[in-house]
Amino acid sequence: MKDLVIIGGGAAGFFAASEVLRRKPHASVVILEKTGKVLAKVKISGGGRCNVTHHCFEPEKLIEFYPRGNPWLQDVFRKFQVRDTLRWFQDLGVSIVPEADGRMFPSTNNSQTIVDALLKVSKGPHFSLKLNSAVRRLSPRPEGFELELESGETLWSRNVLVASGGSPSGNGFVFLKDFGFSIVPPVPSLFTFNVVNHPWKELMGLSVPSATVKLDKTDLSFTGPVLVTHWGFSGPAVLKLSAFGARLLQEREYRYSFSVDWLPELSVEEVEKQLFAFQLANPRKRPDQSMIFPLPKRLWEKICKESGLSAYFNWAEAGKKKIQEATKLLKKKMFSANGKTTYKEEFVTSGGIDLDEIHPETCQSKRFPGLFFAGEVLNVDGVTGGFNFQAAWSTAFSASAEIVRSLK
C-alpha cells in the first residue's frame, strides 16, 4: 500500500511529489506517467525558457487572469500564491526574475533549470516513477484506492492525486468519468486567429505594441501587443481574447468576425481631428509618407492604400471621405476568421473536472476523501503569461498540504 500515487508526470505532479516528500521524507510516492517522458510541457514552455509564473502578488487581482476558475481559485491562491512560488524555487537554488511585461523566468533563461529542480525528488529512496503507465480504472477501497493500469498491473494507495493535465480529445478523462465525476467538455484555449483570404498577409511579421482586439457582437476585448502572421493574427491580445472567448468561439465553429483598434489610446474624434489638422498643416506632403501616429510605417501605408489616401500625391487633394475612411480603418478594422491555430508553447485546454465537486482549500474530492486534483485536469485555465503554471503550483501545494496532514 503506497502513501500516494500521482497520475501524471507534469508540473503539478512533480511539484506535489516534491512537497510531500520534503515534509514527509519517509512517505512512499509513485508517479504514473502515460507517455515515455516527464515534464515535457515545462521543457518547451516560454520558448524553452519556462514562464514559471507572473509578477502579480495579490490573489484578488491574480484570479482576473483566469477565464475558468475565478473565483474558485481565490481560496487556492490565498494558501499559495506567486510570492510562495518564488520562495519555493529559491529554496531549491533557483532564482526567478521578472521581465518588463510581468512574465517571470528562471534567471538562467533555460527551462532545464526548472526541470532539474523538480526532478530532484526522483533521487529520494521512497520515490518511484513509472513511465508508459496509463490508468485504465480507478476504484475506491476501504483503506484507499485501487488503480488498474493499461498494462494489467494493479496498485493500491491511501491517497491519489490526479494531475494528468488537459485532454483536447477528452480521452484522458474517461477513467474519471467512469469513476463518477462530472467533466466539463474540453475545448482549446489560447489560439491565434486564422483570417479568411488574409488581406493583410503582406504585413506578416509586423508587430504593434498596443492594439485592442474585439470579438464582434460581444463585449469581449483585450488590449496588448498584436502580431500579424502569414495566417492571421497572434500576440498576447489575441491569445487572451481566445482564452476568454474559448467556448463562444467553439460554439460558432470558429467562424467569427473581430475588429482591431490600432490606436486604442485615442478616440475616433481625436484620430479624425489629428488627420484633418495634419492635412491643413502639410498640404504638399504625400499621405502615405506622412507618419502622423506612432505606428509601423508598413501599417500606415496599408491604411493609406485601403482608404484610398495613397492614390493622392499630396494631402491637399485628399477629400473628407478618404480621411474618414482612414479613421475607420485605424479605429475599427474588421476581419473575418475561419479557424484557429493552437499556440503550441502554451497549449491549454478549457474544461476538465467540474470545480463544484472539489474543495478549493484542499483540492480534494467532496465525495471521495483521499482523492485530489491539481493542474489542468481541473476546469481551470489562464491566459498566456505564466498563469497556468501558477495554477498548477498552487493547486498541487493545496493538495499536498492536505495529503501530508493525513499521513500519520
Separation of first and last alpha carbons in the chain: 14
Contact assessment for residue 258 and residue 235, using Cβ atoms and an 8 Å cutoff:
no
**Exposed (0-12), middle (13-18) or buried (19+): which is 252, by Cβ within 10 Å?**
middle
C-alpha to C-alpha distance for 294 and 19, rounded to whole angstroms: 49
Give the cell for residue 73.
Answer: 481559485
Element (H, E) at 391: helix 387-406
Q: pLDDT tens track of the chain, all 408 residues?
A: 999 999 999 999 999 999 999 999 999 999 999 999 999 999 999 889 999 999 999 999 999 999 999 999 999 999 999 999 999 999 999 999 999 999 999 999 999 999 999 999 888 899 999 999 999 999 999 999 999 999 999 999 999 999 999 888 888 899 999 999 999 999 989 899 999 899 999 999 999 999 999 999 999 999 999 999 999 999 999 999 999 999 999 999 999 999 999 999 999 999 999 999 999 999 999 999 999 999 999 999 999 999 999 999 999 999 999 999 999 999 999 999 998 887 554 468 899 999 999 999 999 999 999 999 999 999 999 998 999 999 999 999 999 999 999 997
Of residues 200, 258, 206, 254, the one with CA closest to residue 227: 206
C-alpha to C-alpha distance for 210 and 198, rounded to whole angstroms: 21
Give the cell for residue 142.
Answer: 476501504
Question: How far are the Cα atoms of 66, 73, 105, 340 from residue 391, in angstroms, in the given order?
Answer: 9, 8, 16, 25
Of residues 402, 365, 360, the one with CA closest to residue 63: 360
Question: How high is the pLDDT of residue 171?
Answer: 87
C-alpha to C-alpha distance for 139 and 175, rounded to whole angstroms: 10
Phi, psi (deg, nearest 5) at residue 334: -90, 145
Instruction: For residue 152, give every residue at least 6 positions away whose Cβ sits within 8 Å of its Cβ, in sequence order, or none.
Output: none
Of residues 141, 214, 236, 125, the one with CA closest to residue 179: 141
Contact assessment for residue 154 and residue 147, using Cβ atoms and an 8 Å cutoff:
yes
HSE toward the beta carbon, residue 389, CA cutoff 13 A? 29
Give the cell for residue 352.
Answer: 476538465
Question: How high is the pLDDT of residue 19?
Answer: 96
- Locate all alpha helices (DSSP H) within 4-71, ordered by sequence: 11-23, 40-48, 59-62
* Domain map (residue ranges) of the chain: 2-188+346-406, 191-342
Contact assessment for residue 184 and residue 272, using Cβ atoms and an 8 Å cutoff:
no
* Cα 150 to chain centroid, rounded: 31
Question: How high is the pLDDT of residue 343?
Answer: 54
- Record: fold of 2-188+346-406: FAD/NAD(P)-binding domain (3.50.50)
C-alpha to C-alpha distance for 382 and 221, rounded to whole angstroms: 16
pTM of the complete model: 0.90
Contact assessment for residue 203 and residue 222, using Cβ atoms and an 8 Å cutoff:
no
Question: How high is the pLDDT of residue 345?
Answer: 47
Question: How high is the pLDDT of residue 123?
Answer: 82
Of residues 44, 90, 142, 68, the one with CA closest to residue 379: 68
